[in-house]
């Protein structure tokens, strides 16, 4: 399966939120992918520490061609090779691994490395990151995003960790260009009840918080 140039930035920008799926099986992921499409959320990340991750990525890519399907928790070149072989269209890391970033840039694969300090953020961007995942954002808050962007205003920041319906607007107001959401997007109670209509309403309510910025 080819990866180059298959990520749709146009669809991503419709709702610039990366849904982070960790630890779920293919049947649950398939239902969540349907909710993504129905809610106009087009970017979903499946973490590499999910059981059967390569099979899940391959199947979701095949069954949901409108979605951008990526791999998260990519920490080294071995993880990267597995992810891309499965068909991952973009890569997210929790840390800065120069080899992973450079390999993605060379192959024209969007890469969102995790960074925390201004130095790490600048380094990730300088290496060619498509956007820098500020992680864990819950420890920093929107004021941190605004403060970092004062001198580093050209860098695209994607805060991740602790972003929710209640605070996502404040992160976009501070200058974030996107956000990564996991458990606050995939409401466990609704998923356990298989209330996918309710989950879709939840997705849309989160999107409504940022409509002024997209």
Q: Is 192 exposed, middle or buried (0-12, 13-18, 19+ CB in 10 A)?
A: exposed
**Sheet strand arrangement including 132-134:** 114-115, 132-134, 157-159
Catalytic residue among 10, 27, 37, 45: 45
Strands (E), the chain: 17-21, 43-47, 68-72, 91-92, 111-112, 114-115, 132-134, 157-159, 179-181
- Per the annotation, the verdict on 45 as an active-site residue is yes
| Catalytic site residue from 37, 66, 102, 133 | 133
Annotated catalytic residue 59: no
List strand residue ranges (DSSP E) for 52-151, in order.
68-72, 91-92, 111-112, 114-115, 132-134
Residues recognised as catalytic = 45, 133
């Amino acid at each position: 399966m080819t990866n180059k140039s298959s990520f749709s930035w146009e669809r991503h920008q419709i709702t610039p939120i990366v849904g982070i799926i960790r630890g779920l099986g293919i049947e649950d992921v398939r239902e969540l992918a349907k909710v993504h499409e129905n809610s106009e959320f087009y970017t979903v990340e499946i973490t590499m520490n999910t059981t059967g991750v390569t099979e899940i990525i391959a199947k979701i890519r095949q069954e949901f061609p409108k979605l951008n399907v990526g791999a998260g928790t990519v920490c080294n070149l071995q993880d990267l090779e597995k992810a891309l072989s499965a068909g991952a269209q973009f890569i997210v890391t929790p840390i800065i691994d120069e080899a992973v970033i450079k390999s993605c840039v060379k192959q024209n694969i969007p890469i969102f490395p995790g960074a925390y300090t201004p130095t790490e953020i600048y380094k990730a961007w300088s290496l060619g990151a498509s956007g820098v995942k500020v992680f864990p954002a819950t420890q920093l808050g929107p004021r941190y995003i605004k403060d970092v962007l004062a001198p580093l205003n050209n860098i695209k920041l994607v805060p991740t960790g602790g972003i929710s319906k209640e605070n996502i607007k404040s992160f976009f107001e501070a200058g974030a260009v996107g956000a990564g959401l996991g458990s606050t997007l995939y409401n466990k109670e609704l998923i356990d009840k298989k209330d996918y209509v309710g989950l879709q309403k939840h997705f849309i309510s989160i999107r409504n918080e940022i409509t002024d910025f997209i």
